[in-house]
Amino acid sequence: MFCVGRNYAEHAREMGHAPDEAPPFFFTKPADAVVDSGATVPYPPMTADLQHEAELVVAIGATGADLSPDEAARLVWGHAAGNDLTRRDLQAEAKALRRPWDMSKGFDASAVVGPVRPLSLGPFGDAAITCRVDGRITQQARLSDMIWDVPHLLSHLSRFVTLQPGDLVFTGTPAGVGPIARGQTVTVEIDRLAPATVTFS
């Protein structure tokens, strides 16, 4: 799983960064971090500040490297709603010490992914993206608010790695990321996609 950081201008600003200060950058999560929608998972250890990040997830269906945006777009097999869970306190500590983010992003059950909608079902296009915590809206934007759209993100990523069938790419989160407490349910909704829901015990 590849994840892009700061792909919505307002989220970049809320994290203290200018939205146009750099090209897209990526981090990874291990494949076994995936959680299917509807699961109940333990609240993760080693954090007092677990946060949600609603995202569009792109499922890759072909192999490609060093691609143009048009070529990269043809690698997409489908889309899903997702939640890039983050141990924000560990991330802040890693940033302050100039250390990797791995333990703040790649922990167990840190990637909630809803059912993937194949492109064969028709065009997907622009859509609203919303996150709800116990039914309360915390994030709301449109996919067109992305700084870098999916073809350009995949093109840039393909310069660094060869994309393979089965890869998942989390495309960034809008503003409004926030804390999750034990017992709460978080749902990410994207128009025309099945939701991605997780509850924390």
* Count helices and strands in the chain by DSSP H and E runs: 5, 16
In terms of CATH, what superfamily is 2-200? Answer: Fumarylacetoacetase-like, C-terminal domain (3.90.850.10)
Domain ranges of the chain: 2-200
State the Cα–Cα distance between residues 183 and 43, nearest whole angstrom: 9
- Across the beta sheet with 136-142, the strand order is 39-41, 196-200, 185-190, 128-133, 136-142
pTM of the predicted structure, to 2 decimals: 0.94
Which is nearest to 188 in space by CA: 147, 109, 132? Answer: 132
Q: What residues does 81 pair with on adjacent strands?
A: 56
State the Cα–Cα distance between residues 167 and 196, nearest whole angstrom: 18
pLDDT in tens, the chain (201 residues): 999 988 987 755 665 666 666 788 999 999 999 999 999 999 999 999 999 999 999 999 999 999 999 999 999 999 999 999 999 999 999 999 999 999 999 999 999 999 999 998 876 778 999 999 999 999 999 999 999 999 999 999 999 999 999 999 999 999 999 999 999 999 999 999 999 999 999
State the Cα–Cα distance between residues 64 and 162, nearest whole angstrom: 6
State the Cα–Cα distance between residues 144 and 171, nearest whole angstrom: 12
